[in-house]
Amino acid sequence: MATAAGYVLIGCLVVSAFSLSLRGHLSERYYHVIDDAAYRDFLWVREYVPPQYQTGVLDTAVAWAFAPVTGKFVYTAEVSPNFHAEGRSAMEFLHDGARDSAWLAERGITILYSRGAVENNELIKIHNNVYLLVDGKGS
């Protein structure tokens, strides 16, 4: 009888420790790269952006979440910022207000997701922070 009670006690301790550990791990920031608003925006892109718009550019730190949520391609994504030329180029483009339509066209980019200022008349805002290139000629 004492052996069975010992096993039950050990089982309860293991389950409790696992529950506390799991809750702690899930609350870590690195599991939440994008916030709820960005996630909803990405779901909106999946649902409403036409198929001819296939490649997006956005902040490289959160870009890797774009493809799996939207089903679209992303120009570049980085886990740690600016390790390669494409990432630096994308961040400079966004930082400069997304003004250079030729930069987008050369890379086959037709979707822009940005919370920053967008100063480009060839990009049309269609949803929260979501812009499409007017001609729609994606890759």
32's CB contacts (< 8 A; 6+ apart) are: none
Residue ranges covered by each domain of the chain: 2-31, 36-133
Structure-model confidence comparison of residues 20 and 80, the more confident one: 20
Banded model confidence at residue 9, pLDDT cuts 50, 70, 90: confident
pLDDT of residue 128: 92
**Better-scored residue on pLDDT, 20 or 43:** 43
Q: Six-digit token pair at 132?
A: 């499409």
Q: What percent of the chain stands above pLDDT 90?
A: 58
pLDDT in tens, 18-41: 888 878 767 666 556 788 999 999
